[in-house]
Amino acid sequence: MLKTESPSSSHPELDKYALPELISCFIEDQTDAVNAVRLAAPQLARAVAEALPRIQAGGRLIYVGAGTSGRLGVLDSVELHPTFSWPHQRALALLAGGPSAMFVAVEGAEDDEPQGALDLRALQPTANDVVLLLAASGATPYVLGALREARLAGALTLGFANNPHAPVAEQADIGITLDTGPEVISGSTRLKAGSAQKMALNTFSSALMVKLNKVYGNLMVDLKASNAKLVRRALAMTMQAGAADEASARAMLEACGNHVKLAVVALRLQLPVEQARIALEQADGNVRQALAEGKASSLA
């Protein structure tokens, strides 16, 4: 029996617990998720290192999964755009059963290995693409079909599983095993197995975006200010990183089309917007490098 499917020996009478004890049990069990991701840190670092040159060369992130794992992949792909202005067409997600399975379970879809291959093939994967294959069991047929197709295309494959020696991890270029063990509710991998997958995906994609110069210090200066909350956040970050008062930051942001990175460079170097844009482009979007080179140029 898979470890994720095994009954928890710690809580055989879970249904008898008083409510405070029941809540504490669920919360405490999540520490296993944190520990599992911590142990997978070397594999996650390797995954980012190998994905980076492919993404810099124009590759895409393609998430593949079924059920909870697939929905977590969709979530990570969708959130990259508002957080880092990552293009929608370069963060794609395949969910067994199609888009409607995000809201209603499509029974049997995860067992269709040929469909996984067909869905991946329809995206015309290339050697620069990075395919993230998500399966708590590690043996979901739909995901394994997509894995096979991704390898045929020469894409970098990252296999995420919650059981040791799982096919999706062993057959991928880089296997990331999140060994969370038995669930409090036996077999319900939407619990700590899902939490571990969410943390691992957050860690991978966020680290990748940092290395793609989407962050300055610890500020997400490449966000897409697409709603009132994010507009306020953009203003606060521009004031902080640009060392500017609110009025100056607001005016510069407006001139820069709400592009925080550009506004920060323009404010800090006291440059017109177009010159700041050139400085940022020459630094490959790296705010710190653009500021250093700009200051060095002004001192020369």
List, by residue number, the catalytic residues. Answer: 79, 110
Q: How many beta carbons lie within 10 A of that of residue 127, not counting itself?
A: 11
> 50 with 173: CB under 8 angstroms?
yes
CB 28: neighbour CB atoms within 10 A? 11
Close Cβ partners of 184 (under 8 Å, ≥ 6 residues apart): 8, 11, 14, 25, 26, 29, 191, 192
